Each structure stands twice: as C-alpha cells, then as structure tokens.
Amino acid sequence: MNHIAGIAAFAGFAIIALPAQATEWIGRWGAPGCSADDTVIGLDAKELDFSTFEASCRTLRAERRRDVYEIAGECHGEGRPMRVVFTVRVDGDTLSFIRQRDFDFSPKRFRRCR
C-alpha cells in the first residue's frame, strides 16, 4: 500500500492508519542522551523545537524521499525569521541530520527519547 497503510472499521467508525515510516522522524530526540544536561530537540508535524539552540520553527512541510526525510520550516530566534530545510535519516532509534540549509548546528546525531 502506498500513502495509507490501511483502513479498519470498528463499531461503525473508520480508522485510517498512516504507515509508521511516514512519521518516524516525529518525536523527542536527545544527544548524547535525553537527560536535562543533554541536547534535546522536538520534531513534529506542526513545530520543530530547537529551543536548546534558541530557535523555534513552524513546520512548513515534511516529505519522504527514498530513505530520508526533507523537513522545511520557518524559524524564529534572534534576528529575522528564516526559512530552513533539513534532511534527516532515521535508523531505528537514531536520527541523523544529513543536510542542513540555512540553520547549521551540532550535534548531528540524536537518539529517541522515551
């Protein structure tokens, strides 16, 4: 199945399930871990929380391209708002920033926080 993994009907309600890989980049991510002393970011369909880098971004789009995701956002922090594009790869519980356009930061590798 392509964009929609399946539709299930239960007690008269239709449940539409998206494939897990379509949203696997969404979550709270930390480097090297997820404690208060680590670098923690949050990614979701509406907001990219880079407050640890003194920026917050509104998610404009997220598209899967083969084995990576391209995520575009409009970020606010110091100075004028800027449009940014990130390319990330998710491998299990690891998220890696492959490419960052207009907003570069380190670290590049994060693990999923529970």
Location of structure tokens 């529970």: 114
pLDDT tens per residue, range 4-36: 333 333 333 333 333 444 689 999 999 999 999
Give the pLDDT score at 22.
Answer: 63
Give the pLDDT score at 79.
Answer: 80
Give the mean pLDDT of the chain: 83
**Percent of the chain predicted with pLDDT > 70:** 81
Count of Cβ atoms closer than 10 Å to residue 2 Cβ: 5
Task: Annotate 4-25 with DSSP letters as a single string.
Answer: --EEEEETTEEEEE--GGGSTT
| 101 against 6, higher pLDDT | 101
| 78 against 32, higher pLDDT | 32
Joined together, the tokens standing for residue 80 give 């004028």
